[in-house]
Amino acid sequence: MTHHAEQLGRARTAAEFAAVIALLDIDLNDALRCRAELAEAEDRAVFGDGDLAAARAVLDDCNDHIALLEKTIDAAGKRRAEVARSEARADIAALGDEIKARAATLGERWRSVQRLVEQLRQELFEADALARTIATANGLFDAAGVTELKANLTTTRRAAMAGPRAAAPARLSRPALQADRLLLSFLSPGGALDPRPALGAPVDSVKSKFIPAVTSFGERG
């Protein structure tokens, strides 16, 4: 008990209290087995096999030891529960600090998104103005019979937007997935800026007879 008492005195965490309680439980189980043996020795002494007074004295000592162990285990268990609650509160407080920091970082990310979206819009406006200027010039080249001077808007745009695409994270929220698809539609053939179907896509021949095609961003066919 002296060794266990020292361990309990040094224990500070719930895990340390649990470790000492486990050792006390082992001692208690040993003491309970010993008490059963001492009770049998007392019974034999009652019938003249042994010193009854000595047997009862040892049994009383064993019972006292068991009572002390049980009391110590109960007190250690209560202390462990208190420490566990304190640790849980500390963990929650630490999590709150972490989430507060993450929220600040999230705000910075959203500000970056806002800045990039505005930059994207400005680039789209300027690209559209250039495309309309080129489309007008293409019309003049057609009228003048110098079609070799025309610039192919679709080819230019698709070549400029070709390249590798970053893979979306495995765990992406539904709104983020929808936003990602929208952004990719600006880059993909047949997307938001390219109403022409992607290469190899089926074409509805009936609709194509009656619906004039929009040939490219900034150009009508």
Identify whether the C-beta of residue 58 lies closer than 8 Å to the C-beta of residue 31. Answer: no
pLDDT in tens, 72-95: 999 999 999 999 999 999 999 999
The pLDDT of residue 214: 39
Query: Quick check: 215 pLDDT over 50?
Result: no
Considering the entire predicted model, what is its pTM? 0.59
The pLDDT of residue 179: 92
Cα distance between the two ends of the chain = 95
Give the Cα separation of 68 and 31 in Å (integer): 11
Residue 45: pLDDT band by 50, 70, 90 thresholds?
A: confident
Contacts of 194 by beta carbon, 8 Å cutoff, 6+ apart: 154, 157, 158, 188, 216, 217
pLDDT in tens, 30-40: 999 999 988 98
pLDDT averaged over every residue in the chain? 86
The pLDDT of residue 212: 37
Give the Cα separation of 33 and 23 in Å (integer): 16
Q: How far is CA 165 from the centre of its chain?
A: 24
Identify whether the C-beta of residue 135 lies closer than 8 Å to the C-beta of residue 153. Answer: yes
Exposure string over 144-178, b if 16+ CB within 10 A, otherwise e: eeeeeeeeebbeebbeeeeeeeeeeeeeeeeeeee
